[in-house]
Structure 1
Amino acid sequence: MRWGRPWISDVAACAFMVLVAAFVTRGLLADPAGRALSLNPGDQALDEWFLAYATRAYRGDFAFVTGALNAPEGINVLGNASLIGLGLLFAPLTLAFGAPVTFAVATGFNLAANGAGWYLLLSRTARLHRLAAGVGGVFCGFAPGMVSQSNGHLHMTAAWLVPAIVWCVVTLAQGTRTVQRGLLLGGLVVAQFFLGEEVLLLTAVALALFCLAFVATCRPIPRHVLPSLGLGLVIAGGVALALLAYPIWVQFRGPQSAPGAVFRPEFYSADLKSFAALSPLSLAGGNGATRLASGPSEYTAFFGAPALIAVLGATLWMWRRPAVVACTVVSIVLWALALGPHIVVGHERTEQWAPYSLIAGTPIVEWALPTRFALATVPLLGFVLASVVHAAITQTETLKVLVPVAVIAALVPLAPRPLPTADRAPVPRFFTEGYWRGYAPRDGTIVPVPLPDWRDPQPMRWAAATNVAFATPQGWFIGPYGTDGTSAVGVFPRPTSQLLHRALANANPPALTDQDRIDLRRDIAFWHASCFVLADGQAEAGALHSTLDALLGPGEHVADVWVWRARA
């Protein structure tokens, strides 16, 4: 039975990853349609819309630029974190059970698959002891940054192809099947582009820095390494360029493309104190550290002092091993980039220059938030920790128990808590049971009241419940609506949308003018609107209801909503 033991260990390790992922996402899995991430429900609504939109590919009706959101001008899907890869992969699940179920499953799947992927790479390719590989895999899959990004950033946690990408690069350096590995690497790059483009960028940066650091610390370099690696990368680059040329053109030059970064790097920078702090989403973390990050989805640099001490000790012990030293050096470089343009200490921005200033504004790089460079160090640190556990178990007698226990003890405070969730309003039966078809044609425009925007994108869930069978005006997305056509979140609301938001904010129907009625007719014509829909139980529904009655005449109660047919 000796031949079977490694497989048993592998299955047990992967099963453990699944159990931890289920624990982290248990709030969502318990009631996907009735619960939402309490720390970031807006991004979850956007993710669910994208997951639902991807199902249109199964009926041959998917495009990189679509008018299904922000009707009729539409959005550039590739210019947003659009989850194309995840959406296509999980489309059967979405079609069967709905986007909320897919979101809950995909959130846990990403975490478990990341951990399992790194475990297999460490145990099979790096040939580390399986306990050591398990420690590294669990850290890579469930590090505080990965759990934090699970709050609505599925495009950042969908990194389970990265271990395969690293494997391809390693085998290319070994001179193994150069052409085949190059072709495979190119295919993986294309797949990761559609899973999460920012992850691909961070992976490329980390791998490039690692190769440079490894070459600088390892002498001599075998003669076959550079030719084999170079040829493989050229083949991979050719494959990726051929397959991604058009999508990249659409993203940066196509309709509704938005030049420039929409999020300021000064705001999304890692606080120097956060590196030694424990994430509020970790077992030993507290809410006092929340001020050290821009939000609960960006606790990317919260590694904690115990883990950093363990990494330092491991590096000092194994300073003769080029791979370990290279990982630590690259991690320090990436941490420096994560600090942003100027160093922030204790939520106070200083005038001290930081290395990110050298690349700020660089095309493509500007789309990556500085703090996420710290996320790229997770697998590097995982390798260092796994290596020291392996060395202790296989090469010493006195430390074979002490070192693994010490490393695990240093990581226990980072153990994740379940993602916080809260109740959310159900999608009206008007949409889930198909009543809407009597009031709008397929791919027609239904105007939710109030209209969705970055402040409240929840009405986008109505379209998601129908697998985006109708179009929605406005919404939460990135488009060319900033100054001189630069990037902005959402679109400036049209007059009727502003009128409805005033009614909502004041809890009172505003006095209507002839201009309001003229604006309404223009907006209906612009949106190609079929009807306006107000859900029962909507906050301050009375003011909105009265306003629409005054504009369009008495509404019709259908199932659990009020409907006003549009009259241009």
Structure 2
Amino acid sequence: MDAGVALLFAAAAALLTSGLWADPARRALALNPNDQALDEWFLAYATRAYRGDFSLVTGALNAPDGVNLLCNASLVGLGLLFAPVTLAFGPHYTFLVVTAVNLAATGTGWYLLLARTAGLHRLAALVGGAFAGFAPGMVSQSNGHLHMTAAWLVPPIVWCVLRLATDPLAGAGRTIRRGLLLGALVTAQFFVGEEVLFLTATGLALFCGTYWLLRRPSVARLAAGLAIGGALATLLLAYPLWLQFHGPQSVDGGVFLSRYYSADLHAFTAISPLSLAGDDGAARLASGPAEYTTFFGWPVLLVVAGGAVWLWRRPAVTASAVAALVLCLLALGPRVVAGREQTDHWGPFALLDGLPVVESALPTRFALAAIPLLAYVLARVVDAAVTQTETLRLLVPVAVVAALAPLAPVPLPTQERPAAPRFFTEGYWRTFAPADGTIVPVPLPDSRDPQAMRWAAAAGVGFATPQGWFIGPYGRDGRAAVGIYPRPTAQLLQRAAQGGTAPELTDKDRVALRRDIAYWRASSFVLADWQPGHAALKATLDGLLGPGERVADVWVWRARSA
């Protein structure tokens, strides 16, 4: 049955991403195409490790200053793991595969933990695994946030903690081995999804603390195992953490406002627009379609509350319910918002807001850590009904499934997008830039429109790109900011694209161009036919650099012509 459940989850993930399968190069997530372009660049960059480039600070983006990958959701671990797919088929295929695998593998991991470690009935474990892998928060994060849905290492991490805490036969050797395994898993999760690791640690700490208050078990083995795992993880992550917080292009503070990325109180009882019974009007209760993290729906909340009351004598159920409640309260952010109206009530997150590490977290995502805890309560309710009562054996599972049915995800919305030009996919670019030289896409990519970053991704990030969509130290006093302030030539090209007419060029524009070429160390400028304002952009570049060359399906201007 275990293999059948894994196949069921894989089929569900394939259905969820079905809009991309027809042509991944020409299809994009309609609700968040920009983050998809960013993810594809990161996935392509990771393949450089196969050429011996293991740099965590790279000049391949935001040339020549570069980008600190650890200060961004850079998919280092996912990119390395799936690099063979990227090298064989391209980053657009890898994005699609990882989007599906993250959900299916996470659900399967929780199913196995519930069935084999917790010893629950297979039906109960199936219910819990399905909710943990495909809850509305996980589905919404699938819109371009691969680092948030890559939670398939969390069940093994939880397994290590549970075995350290509960195995009565564990001797020193077994405790050491499990502690070392825990440290290795924590290190791996750091590179797969650091924010998920932070949320997992928070959820586990709340659960274990509540459980200890209820039962007061001995924690000697657990403490020893955690110390061993922590020591190994500290040793392995010492340099990456230094690089992230103090290395080149590191950032100070968070870039996203906690009050904006907070959960609306009404969202907890709403049904996600990405669910079978979803209400499009509920979208207004979240900051965006990738942040429907708290859309549990009132039927599920009622079942969880009822189950927690019914099974209150089981400390693990009570601890899960209490920990989930605290996490959901943290998701409300520093000030409670109800129906998009800010109230006068402070949320618990206000006590943490501004603290190191926490300042980079989005409050609403604390609800993601509540998903496995709620899944455990749901699974325990079904298990108790199926295995312990005659009268409720059918009624309770039907009620739980009925509560979950409205949350069943529908396929992620997709849209058409232009494929990367053949100039890049077929290698023509090598004639116009040396290895790791700089090619300037026209107009230059930024956080509002990073699609031109896909050109470098299609070429295996064989050349550097100025500007781009990233987090860097370009805010006030060197604090975190999205992107970099565009240089004069970038501004000129942006005005041409937006206005649709070529501006009147001056000597000042030509002087600025020469300076920008020197700053970027640019080899050439490239313009695709489908770019908005194409005619205006071509006329502008012809005026600045002379007539462009038609190569494959783009126009190219050699920077030396300036």
Instruction: Report TM bin, short chain.
Output: over 0.9
Question: CA deviation digits over 1:54-105, x for unaligned, max 9?
Answer: 0000110120100000000000000000000100000000000000000000
Q: Is the 8 A contact 2:418 2:530 kept in 1?
A: no
SS at match of 1:343: strand
1:165 aligned onto 2:157: yes
SS at match of 1:350: strand
Task: Choose which of 431, 448, 467 in structure 1 pairs with 2:441.
Answer: 448
Instruction: Give runs of aligned pairs for residues 287-366 of structure 1, distance below 5 A.
Output: 287-366=280-359
Specify the code of the residue in structure 2 equivalent to 1:188. Answer: L
Task: Choose which of 198, 202, 208 in structure 2 pairs with 1:201.
Answer: 198
Question: CA deviation digits over 1:443-484, x for unaligned, max 9?
Answer: 000000000001100000000001100000000000000001
SS at match of 1:418: coil
In 2, the alpha carbon distance for the partners of 1:278 and 1:150 equals 17
Specify the code of the residue in structure 1 equivalent to 2:12. Answer: V
SS at match of 1:107: helix
Task: Choose which of 173, 180, 185 in structure 2 pairs with 1:183.
Answer: 180
Question: Which residue of 2 is the match for residue 550 of structure 1?
Answer: 543
Per the TM alignment, residue 282 of structure 1 is displaced from its structure 2 partner at its CA by 0.4
1:385 aligned onto 2:382: no
Specify the code of the residue in structure 2 equivalent to 1:207. Answer: L
User: Gapped runs of 5+ residues in structure 1?
Assistant: 1-8
Per the TM alignment, residue 217 of structure 1 is displaced from its structure 2 partner at its CA by 1.5
In 1, the alpha carbon distance for the partners of 2:345 and 2:305 equals 25
Q: Is the 8 A contact 2:525 2:558 kept in 1?
A: yes
In 2, the alpha carbon distance for the partners of 1:199 and 1:436 equals 38
SS at match of 1:470: coil
Instruction: Give runs of aligned pairs for residues 205-244 of structure 1, distance below 5 A.
Output: 205-218=202-215, 220-221=216-217, 225-244=218-237
Q: Is the 8 A contact 2:275 2:410 kept in 1?
A: yes
In 1, the alpha carbon distance for the partners of 2:398 and 2:542 equals 69
Question: CA deviation digits over 1:190-234, x for unaligned, max 9?
Answer: 00000000000000011011011001122x52xxx3110000000
Question: Which residue of 2 is the match for residue 135 of structure 1?
Answer: 127
Question: Which residue of 2 is the match for residue 432 of structure 1?
Answer: 425
Question: Which residue of 2 is the match for residue 14 of structure 1?
Answer: 6
Task: Choose which of 90, 96, 101 in structure 1 pairs with 2:93.
Answer: 101
Question: Which residue of 2 is the match for residue 5 of structure 1?
Answer: none
Per the TM alignment, residue 538 of structure 1 is displaced from its structure 2 partner at its CA by 1.8
1:111 aligned onto 2:103: yes
SS at match of 2:550: strand
In 1, the alpha carbon distance for the partners of 2:533 and 2:378 equals 55
In 2, the alpha carbon distance for the partners of 1:232 and 1:566 equals 59
The alignment's TM-score, normalised by the length of structure 1, stands at 0.97
SS at match of 2:41: helix
Specify the code of the residue in structure 2 equivalent to 1:146. Answer: M
Question: CA deviation digits over 1:494-544, x for unaligned, max 9?
Answer: 000000001111111111111100000000000000000000122210100
SS at match of 2:391: coil
Specify the code of the residue in structure 1 equivalent to 2:294. Answer: A
In 2, the alpha carbon distance for the partners of 1:304 and 1:562 equals 52
Task: Choose which of 82, 85, 92 in structure 2 pairs with 1:90.
Answer: 82
In 1, the alpha carbon distance for the partners of 2:43 and 2:496 equals 32
In 2, the alpha carbon distance for the partners of 1:263 and 1:254 equals 21
Specify the code of the residue in structure 2 equivalent to 1:533. Answer: V
In 2, the alpha carbon distance for the partners of 1:60 and 1:408 equals 50
Per the TM alignment, residue 129 of structure 1 is displaced from its structure 2 partner at its CA by 0.2
In 1, the alpha carbon distance for the partners of 2:397 and 2:534 equals 59
Instruction: Give runs of aligned pairs for residues 61-72 of structure 1, distance below 5 A.
Output: 61-72=53-64
- Residues paired across the two proteins, number: 556
Q: Is the 8 A contact 2:214 2:315 kept in 1?
A: yes
The structure 1 segments of at least 4 consecutive aligned residues displaced by more than 6 Å after TM superposition are none
1:151 aligned onto 2:148: no
Specify the code of the residue in structure 1 equivalent to 2:84. Answer: P
1:504 aligned onto 2:497: yes
Task: Choose which of 25, 32, 37 in structure 2 pairs with 1:40.
Answer: 32
Specify the code of the residue in structure 2 equivalent to 1:98. Answer: G
Instruction: Give runs of aligned pairs for residues 488-527 of structure 1, distance below 5 A.
Output: 488-527=481-520
Instruction: Give runs of aligned pairs for residues 270-285 of structure 1, distance below 5 A.
Output: 270-285=263-278
Task: Choose which of 400, 410, 419 in structure 1 pairs with 2:412.
Answer: 419
Question: Which residue of 2 is the match for residue 3 of structure 1?
Answer: none
In 2, the alpha carbon distance for the partners of 1:143 and 1:11 equals 21
Specify the code of the residue in structure 1 equivalent to 2:266. Answer: K
Specify the code of the residue in structure 2 equivalent to 1:136. Answer: G
SS at match of 2:287: coil
Specify the code of the residue in structure 2 equivalent to 1:452. Answer: P
In 2, the alpha carbon distance for the partners of 1:16 and 1:485 equals 48
Question: Which residue of 1 is the match for residue 361 of structure 2?
Answer: 368
In 2, the alpha carbon distance for the partners of 1:289 and 1:32 equals 29
Specify the code of the residue in structure 2 equivalent to 1:153. Answer: H
1:123 aligned onto 2:115: yes
User: Gapped runs of 5+ residues in structure 2?
Assistant: none
Per the TM alignment, residue 428 of structure 1 is displaced from its structure 2 partner at its CA by 0.4
1:533 aligned onto 2:526: yes
| CA root-mean-square deviation | 0.7
SS at match of 2:50: helix
SS at match of 1:63: coil
Per the TM alignment, residue 28 of structure 1 is displaced from its structure 2 partner at its CA by 1.3
Question: Which residue of 2 is the match for residue 465 of structure 1?
Answer: 458
Question: Which residue of 2 is the match for residue 4 of structure 1?
Answer: none
Per the TM alignment, residue 30 of structure 1 is displaced from its structure 2 partner at its CA by 2.1
Question: Which residue of 2 is the match for residue 259 of structure 1?
Answer: 252
SS at match of 1:557: strand
Q: Is the 8 A contact 1:271 1:347 kept in 2?
A: yes
Per the TM alignment, residue 351 of structure 1 is displaced from its structure 2 partner at its CA by 2.4
1:408 aligned onto 2:405: no
Task: Choose which of 468, 475, 484 in structure 1 pairs with 2:477.
Answer: 484
Q: Is the 8 A contact 1:29 1:105 kept in 2?
A: no
Specify the code of the residue in structure 1 equivalent to 2:103. Answer: L
Per the TM alignment, residue 343 of structure 1 is displaced from its structure 2 partner at its CA by 0.2
Using the aligned pairs only, state the percent identity. Answer: 68
Question: Which residue of 2 is the match for residue 60 of structure 1?
Answer: 52
Specify the code of the residue in structure 1 equivalent to 2:209. Answer: L
Q: Is the 8 A contact 2:439 2:526 kept in 1?
A: yes
Specify the code of the residue in structure 1 equivalent to 2:88. Answer: A
In 2, the alpha carbon distance for the partners of 1:455 and 1:12 equals 43
Question: CA deviation digits over 1:276-319, x for unaligned, max 9?
Answer: 00000000001100100000000000000000011011111101
Per the TM alignment, residue 174 of structure 1 is displaced from its structure 2 partner at its CA by 2.0
Question: CA deviation digits over 1:386-429, x for unaligned, max 9?
Answer: 00100000001111111001101100000001000000011000
In 1, the alpha carbon distance for the partners of 2:343 and 2:476 equals 28
Q: Is the 8 A contact 1:165 1:189 kept in 2?
A: yes
